[in-house]
Chains A and B, each alone.
Chain A
Amino acid sequence: MAENIGHPMTRMPSSAKKGEIIEVRSLILHPMTTGLSKDKAGKIIPAHFIQTVDVTFNDKPLMNVDWSTAISANPFLAFKMRAEETGTLSIRWKDNKGGDWSAQAKITVS
């Protein structure tokens, strides 16, 4: 289980016209356990879940997301962005046990 964690990915168009609204999609492997269920031995599986997702474009904050344990395992996330300038989008996921991952994607705006 432990190795099936992380591997963040983000995808968006590699180019866009200035002012165009584009879609960004992302995926990360994570168990997202609730702390409410038990394993086969009857022991409670502790809550282990991503709590925050921070998105920046050219190091400027674009949006942030706060998650609970009610987000499905291997969380998928999609959102929109207005393409204003060429640059790099960065997404950073953090969990409640110190896990910290990030992924980037580049776009050329003409």
Chain B
Amino acid sequence: MSEKIKRRDFLHGAVTTAAIMATVGTGLVRPRLALADDVQGWPAKAFDAKTLSEALKGAGVPVTVPASSKVHLSVPTIAENGGAVPLSVDVDSPMTADDYIETIYLFVDKNPLPLASQFNFTPANGKASMQERIKMAKTSSVRVVAKTNKGELLGAVKLVKVTVGGCG
């Protein structure tokens, strides 16, 4: 009897291990955060991308987005402290149920992980506008992509010179 139980425990353990191995193998478990639990809905694929092209792809944004005078990106030309670079983005839009800015993506081209933030708006915002402070590892372009509810993409790019990097 006791032997049977032992055998069952052993088999159960083996099956579980095999299942974990299979999950790791298919890439469902990302090694970096194997012990952490990402918040539900957080788009890990785009945020974990290590190059700009992968990050754009992960966010579903094409490599070239036409610059638009509707997108107002405000960043310092020279940032003395890369640890806290103040940034604001305003996009001209009526923000009605039929025509509004759905998402604003922010990329820092030369950061180790280029996608910095993703803002999802609703018409109730009244204005597609945001302010935050970001870290920049070194001198880099800062890239904003705004997406309307109809899927139209509007871009803006600005270069920020960083004196002391802030990703350390």
Binding site for B on A (CB under 8 A): 21, 34-37, 46-47, 51-52, 57, 60-73, 75-82, 84, 94-98
- A-side contacts of B108, CB under 8 Å: 70
User: Which residue of A62, A65, A72, A78 has the most chain B CB atoms within 10 A of its CB atom?
Assistant: A72
**Separation of A5 and B145 alpha carbons in the complex (Å):** 31
- A-side contacts of B122, CB under 8 Å: 61-63
Nearest CB in chain A: distance from B122 CB, A: 6
How would you classify the secondary structure of chain A's contact residues: helix, strand, loop or mixed? strand
Name B81's closest neighbour in chain A (CB-CB): A72
Contact B124 A77, beta carbon cutoff 8 Å:
no
Contact A81 B124, beta carbon cutoff 8 Å:
yes
**Separation of A88 and B158 alpha carbons in the complex (Å):** 37
26 example contacts (A-B, Cβ-Cβ < 8 A) are as follows A35-B32, A36-B168, A46-B36, A52-B39, A60-B124, A62-B122, A62-B124, A62-B125, A66-B43, A68-B117, A70-B117, A70-B167, A71-B132, A72-B134, A72-B135, A76-B133, A78-B129, A78-B130, A78-B131, A79-B131, A80-B128, A81-B125, A82-B125, A96-B38, A97-B36, A97-B37
User: Which residue of A68, A72, A79 has the most chain B CB atoms within 10 A of its CB atom?
Assistant: A68
Q: Which of A46, A57, A66, A75 contacts B124 (CB 8 A)?
A: A57
- B-side contacts of A71, CB under 8 Å: 116-117, 132-135
- B-side contacts of A80, CB under 8 Å: 125-129
Contact B36 A96, beta carbon cutoff 8 Å:
yes
Closest 9 CB pairs of A and B: A82-B126, A78-B131, A70-B116, A72-B133, A80-B127, A72-B84, A21-B126, A66-B118, A51-B39
Q: Which of B42, B95, B112, B129 contacts A36 (CB 8 A)?
A: B112
Contact B113 A96, beta carbon cutoff 8 Å:
no
Nearest CB in chain B: distance from A47 CB, A: 7
**Separation of A18 and B60 alpha carbons in the complex (Å):** 37
Contact B36 A77, beta carbon cutoff 8 Å:
no
> Besides the contacts A66-B117, A78-B88, A78-B132, what 14 more A-B pairs have beta carbons closer than 8 Å?
A21-B127, A36-B112, A47-B32, A51-B39, A62-B122, A65-B120, A69-B135, A78-B129, A79-B125, A80-B125, A80-B126, A80-B129, A96-B39, A97-B37
Name A78's closest neighbour in chain B (CB-CB): B131
**Separation of A49 and B33 alpha carbons in the complex (Å):** 12
- A-side contacts of B125, CB under 8 Å: 62-63, 79-82
